[in-house]
Every structure is written in C-alpha cells, then in structure tokens.
Structure 1
Amino acid sequence: MASLFRSHNIRKTALLSIGIFFLMILIFKVSSDTTPDLADLLNQAGSVVDPNEELRKNTNGNNNDNSGSSDGNSGASNHHLGGLSFTGNRKQNEELELAKKLNELTEKLLDDQEVRLKKLEKDRLQLEKQLNELRRPHQDATLRERLAYMFPYDQDRKFPAYIWQSWKYGLNDERFGPKYKKGEEQWAVKNPGFVHELFNDDTSNAIVHYVYMNIPEVVRAYELMPHVILKMDFFRYLMLFAKGGVYADVDTLPLQPIPNWIPENVEPSEIGMIIAIQSDPNSQDWREHYAKRLQFGNWVIQAKPGHPILREMIATVTEETLKKENDGTLVLPELNMEMNIMNWTGTGLWTEVIFKYFNDYVLSGIFSKVTWKDFTKLDVPKLVSDVLVLPITCFSPGLGEMGSQSEEHPLAFVKHYFEKLYRQP
C-alpha cells in the first residue's frame, strides 16, 4: 500500500515537472523574437523521462529488492528501456503538437488584441471629434465670451509646432511663382520638427467653416469679405486663435529657425505672442502711408491658441464686416485700397487692438500707459506683458530705413518681399 502511494506521488511529481518545463519553453518563445523553434528545443531535451517509466522503474526496483535476483532485474531493465524509446517518442510528438497548438492560439490572441486596440483608438478619435462638434457655448453669451469658451488661453503651454501659410493658388499651379515656392520650401527646411500647411482659397474656406461651425457670425463675416486679401488677413487670425503656431505670408523667406526668435534670457512660458514692428517712420507725412504712427506687422506672427489679442481682433473684424453688410458698404474701393485694407483687417487695426490689450490692465497686467513711444527706435527684443515685440530688423531686414539692418544681422529672422499681394491677379 505504501509502495502504491509512493508511486502515485512520483507520477504526479513527474507530470508537474514536465508541465513546468513546457510552460517555461512556451513563455521563452513568446517573449523573444530570436528564440529557436519549440520543436528544436524539445529535440534537444534528451533528458526528459516518461513518468510511466519512472513508475515501472520504482515498482520493478521494489520487486528486485524482495527477490534478490540480479538477473531478473537486468532483464526487466532491458525490457523497459525498449518501452521507454517507443513511449517517449509518442509522448514527445503529442507534446510537440500541444505546444504548437498553444503557440498558434497565443499568436491568434495577440493578433486579435492588436485589432481590438486599433478599433478602440479609431473609436476614441471619432468620439473626440463628436465631442468637439458638440462643444457649444451658451446662446446668450457675447461673441467674445463664446470665442473665449471655444478656444481658452493658457500662457504656460508650449508654442504649437505649426507653420500656416495661405495663397490664392496651390503649389502645383504655375501661377504660384518660383519666389514663393522657395520661401515655402525654406520654412519647412529650416524647421524640420514643425507641421507645415499651405492653404489655398478652397481649403482655407473649408477649415474656417469646420473650426468655427459653432460661431456662425464669424463664418458669415469670412464669407462676406469682398476681396481675397481681406480673407487672407482674417484667416491668419482665425488659424492662430484656434490652433496656435506661426503664420507667415507667402512672400516671406525664413533666414533662421523659429526657435531662434526667443532670446536666451526669456522663458517661452512668459510669452503668449511674438510680433515685430512693421513701420517706425521719421517723417511727418506718415499719415499718407500708414494708419498709425508706429505699426506692428502681421505678415509673420507666432502665438499660442486663444490669445486675447487674437480674440479681440476676430471679434472686431466680424462686427465691422457684419455692420458693413447692414449699411450696404460691403465693398473694397480701388481708391486708397491699401489704407482701407489696413483699417479693415490689416496692420492698422492689428496695431490698434494690440495697444488696446496693453492698456487693459485686467488682461495685460500693465498699470502704466503704453504708447508708440515705448517702441520707437527699438533695436532689441522687448517683452511687454506676454507679448515679445521684436525690432523691425527681425521680420523686415534690408530696408535701409526706419532702423532696419541688413539680412546678415544676428536679429534678421525673416525676409519680407513686400509684394503687395492684393495687387496680384
């Protein structure tokens, strides 16, 4: 009775050992791409013993001890050696087949898991899109409140790595122009980590309708604008407000990478917008050429999404455009066209809104009066509230006037061709 009990324990131990052995091989194969085939490992495992043979050995050994016959023991051993060879091969084949099925099952489970993960990610993106579309401000909120709700401002976030450009024609259109193509290429070459998008009339119209679908008066104002240059001006504010990044006119050529624009002694978290001076004339006849005594340029702007200056600019342009529609004055006259553009969507209104921001201490945190005199003859970058104001050389080098230095100057970041895009067919 004790002998049978010991035999039963030996069999259980042997089966458990073999099970652990095959489990270790299976785990090793799944976790390593360079593991040999399981069949090769099993063929090399010559020391595996059949548990039935172990039982026979122990039983036979007990009988030999009782009889004391060495010849009988020898004969029994030879007999069981032959049985071990046949039984071992059969068991090995069965175990190989089982391991193969387990391996196939594991691979199938992994493939199914990958399919499920891809489906979950697709569903997540679709849900996120639907949530954005459902994100609607309160109907009774003002235009500015709705804009702020849809696109909140966070000064501490990083500048998004986007470069936005727009032009009437696509890159494959022969009217695009080689000079503009060179500039478009250089923006991408000098800023390899940035997403660079060029919009034409059709794509810019589509993106405005999509991004501002919940603020219909903004879309309406964009549609009403009677000239492409007005839409291009408005488009830059709309994209920067919603997405952030850099907007650059198509008639610009980058001379240095975008990260070089921020001085070493200024933290990017302190800045919400980067602009440069457009004009700072010395003559008294500045009113003949400019809307303001000193103007900030809008052909290159870097901003974080939701900046209050952009919000006010969009609201002001929208309200003025809808007012022009109601008054029946929704036209851009040929006479003095440049000045009309400046005051409607261009650098004149842009400058006015910036100074309005500086002098609103609730928004800017500045308690003293800020005027054009704080920026005239500026030759080094100046941080005012969260706006980094660059000298005229930075985005308009080589003018030879108003303090502009050459293109080789260390602060020459972007060359502007001043092509007067609104005059081009």
Structure 2
Amino acid sequence: MMSFKRALVFAIFFITAFVIIRRAHTSLNEPNPVRRPPPKHADSDNARSGASHNAPSTSNPSGADVPLRDQPVPAQKAIHDTSKMSLYDKLAYQYPYDVETKFPAYVWQTWKYTPASAEFQFRDQEASWTEQHPGFVHEVITDQVAVHLLRLLYAAVPEVLDAYDALPEPVLKADFFRYLILLARGGIYSDIDTVALKSALDWLPDALPKESIGLVVGIEADPDRPDWKDWYSRRIQFCQWTIQAKPGHPVLRDIVSRITAETLRRKRDGVFVSRDKSVVEFTGPAVWTDTVFDYFNDARYFDMRHSLGNITYLNFTGIEIPKKVGDVVVLPITSFSPGVGQMGAKDYDDPMAFVKHDFEGTWKPEHERHIGANG
C-alpha cells in the first residue's frame, strides 16, 4: 500500500506535469504576439528630444500631444491562413514590430562589387562605417547576393519577390532592397557613397529613451524658395540614402506594400519608368517622404482626436535639432546632408553632422553624376 508521503510526492509530480503540458499546448496554439509601443508621453516630442519650442509641435499644430496608439494585432483567425491577409498584414505577421528592442547592430550597403574586388571604388567611404561602428555586422551586398537573400527572407511573401524581379532598372531594385532589408532585419542602411562622420550610437540625444524609438530619418531638402518644385519633389523631403530602423516598423511595411502593389500593376499594364524624377517618385525619396508623413497622420497608430490638423512640412522646416513624433525621430538637414551650402545645412564639423553624402549619383550615367541632391 502506498504511504501517505509517497502519495503526496506522486500527486505533486502529476499536477506539475499536467500544468507544464497544458501551458506548452496553449503556447503552440496562441497567435504570435506583436509587442506594442508604449503610449507617447507628454514630453516626448519636445523636452526629451530637444525639439525647438519655436517650431510647431510635431504632434499637433497647436502644441497639444497626439498619443501613439497601440499597434494593431492581426486577428487570430487570420494567423492560420496568411493567403487571406492583405500584403500589409502579411508583412506584419512575418516581421512583427517591437519598439522596445534595441536597434540591431547591422550596417547594410549595396554595390556592384564587394570590397574584396579590385574594382571596388569606395574604400574610404565603406571603411568609415566599419571604423565608426566596431562590433557591428557590416555587409556590402551585390545584386547577385541580394536576389538570394531576399528569396530567403521573403519566401513566405512571394508577391514581394515577384515585384523585385519585375523592376527593370538597377536603381529601382537598389531602392526597394533598402526597405526590404530594414523591414526584415533592421539596422542601418546607407548608400555606398556616404561617409560615417559619427557612430549611430551618437545620433539620438542621451535623454531620449531608445526603447521608445523605432525609426530615424533625416531631412534631405528644405527648400524655402518659390521655385522649389523645379529642384525637389517635396517641400520637406526625407532622405533615404541613410535610414536607421528596427525590424518590422510600420513605415517600412507600408512602403514595401506600396512599391509591391505599384510594381505589379505596372508589370500587368506593361508600363514602367524612365530615369530622373519618375524614379524619385516610384521608389525614391518622394514616395519615402509621403509614406513617413502618412504614418504621422495615420489614425491606426496615432490618437488624432485632439489634433487640430495634419502634420505637414511646416512642423519640420528650419529645425536644427531632432524632433520626435511617436516612435520616429526626424533629424535636421545638417545630420545627413552637411556641407551642401544651402537650406540651413551646416558644415561637416557641426555637432549634428552624422553622415556625409558624396552625391555620386552612382545609378546615373557618368555624364549626369554630381548634379544635385536627388541622386
């Protein structure tokens, strides 16, 4: 006959095993959770980011705060059948966003050759990124490697791969790749003709909590002149030659969805783009700028009930220090465009100068290079 002590030990063992098995079964059947960014605090746009009190609030033209909404979580029913999801939701499921994680320690660049090739032309520029970011994984991805890497990362989203393959120009593929690699892996993307002046660890103010930021963008152009449309696509234009992001950020989901849908439409209609401004609008800084502004005014992510109007270029023109909008930090023009000699950009030795762009325009024919900031 079993003693009382042995019976008690057996009962405890049985109950413990039952609880462990039940928890394991439950975790296998629950949807993959999406971490939600914390609500935006009242001082997040101004005091913590060091934003100018003379410039309009990036939350609200009146200065009132617009709190960041919780990130939407895909419905459990859709989790089991991604074929019924929209492309945006597929990407959200494939690469969920967690604002509280660290920025991944990656530097991504693309070029026709790797630094190991004798034909590599950007040794000083490429080396600056390694020197400023010891301990980071730094990769220069060739076109051939990009194809295989994307097939691995986006095997579950074949329409993205179809769109990438359909793009007829290398510059379009290069633009698309930067958004795709950041969406999937995060880190820093920077064009091969850029020089890292400061480490990305110094890009954000110390007082700004890094666990509240998921995307860092810089101003490329702030042309306060009546003929600005002759030179730039947007009154405030965000550069996409350098971007820092955490994987899965909604802005990256959105731009990948837009480019994919537009590319497949153009493929179906047999209409594609030529060089120049059509590239800028299709995959370049124009569509990138539009996507960032659309995110700032997206009721899915920001509580707009107390806002008096949309966030526009007026909230950023003339800024000289970072401004925070929800989980995005916008850096002034000096940060990624120092030394251009216009639009308020200061020189390379300014404390806010982080990246120098040589404007090689490497995607353009040789005779068209070095002619402006849209390259």
The TM-score with structure 2 as length reference comes to 0.74
Counterpart selection for 1:391 from 326, 329, 332: 332
Deviation at 1:189, TM superposition (A): 1.1
- 1:271 is aligned to 213
SS across alignment from 2:192: coil
Match of 1:167 among 85, 107, 111: 111
Any gaps of 5 or more consecutive residues in structure 1? 1-134
Answer yes or no: is 1:422 the counterpart of 2:367.
no
- Equivalent residue for 2:32? none
Mapped contact 1:137–1:149 kept (Cα < 8 A): no
AA in 1 matched with 2:104: P
Identity, in percent, stands at: 42
Counterpart amino acid of residue 291 in structure 2: V
Q: Secondary structure at the match of 1:236?
A: helix
Are the aligned partners of 1:136 and 1:150 in contact in 2 as well (CA < 8 Å)? no
Q: CA RMSD in A?
A: 1.4
Q: Go from structure 1 to structure 2 and tell me whether the alpha carbon gap of 1:199 and 1:325 turns closer, same or farther (over 3 Å shift).
A: same
Q: What's the counterpart of residue 213 of structure 1? A: 155
- The question of whether the paired residues in 2 share the 8 Å contact of 1:358 and 1:366 is answered with no
2:321 is aligned with 1:409? no
Residue in structure 2 matched with residue 232 of structure 1 by the alignment: 174
Which runs of structure 2 are paired with 1:56-95 in the superposition (5 Å)? Answer: none
Check whether the contact 1:248–1:300 (CA below 8 A) recurs between aligned residues. yes
Task: Summarize the alignment of residues 258-337 of structure 1 with structure 2, pairs less than 5 Å apart.
Answer: 258-330=200-272, 332-333=273-274, 337=275
**Structure 1 pair 374/290, CA: closer, same or farther in 2 (3 Å)?**
same
Note the alpha carbon deviations across 1:284-340, whole angstroms, 9 max, x for none. Answer: 11112222111000011000010000000000000000010111103x32xxx2211
Please give the alpha-carbon distance, in whole angstroms, between the structure 1 residues aligned to 2:221 and 2:299: 26
> What is the alpha-carbon distance in structure 2 between the residues aligned to residue 290 and residue 386 of structure 1?
27
Higher helix fraction (1 or 2): 1
Give SS of 1:363's match.
coil
Cα distance in 1 between the residues matched to 2:176 and 2:300: 26
Is 1:251 matched up with 2:189?
no
Matching of residue 382 in structure 1 with residue 323 in structure 2: yes
Q: Residue 156 in 1 paired to residue 100 in 2?
A: yes
Larger relative CO (CA 8 A, sep 6+): 1 or 2?
2
1:345 aligns with 2:272: no
Q: Of 328, 333, 358, which aligns to 2:296?
A: 358
Q: C-alpha separation between the residues in 1 aligned to 2:365 and 2:243?
A: 23
2:337 and 2:233 map into 1 onto residues whose CA distance is 18
SS at 2:317 equivalent: coil
Asked whether the 8 Å contact 1:364–1:386 carries over to 2, the reply is no
Task: Give the Å deviation of 1:419.
Answer: 1.1
Give the Å deviation of 1:351.
0.4
Report how far residue 365 of structure 1 moved: 4.0
TM-score w.r.t. structure 1 length?
0.65
State the alpha-carbon separation in 2 of the partners of residues 381 and 137 from structure 1: 41
Offset from partner CA, 1:189-221 (integer Å, 9 cap, x none): 111021111100111111011100111110010
Residues in 1 aligned to 2:197 and 2:141: alpha-carbon distance in whole angstroms: 22
Number of equivalenced pairs: 285
Corresponding position: 1:192 with 2:134: yes
Distance 2:304 2:103 in 1: 23
d(CA) in 1 for partners of 2:188, 2:80: 27
CA deviation after TM superposition for structure 1 residue 174, in Å: 3.7
1:366 & 1:384 partners in 2: Cα distance? Answer: 13
Greater Cα radius of gyration, structure 1 or 2: 1
Matched residue type, 1:345: T
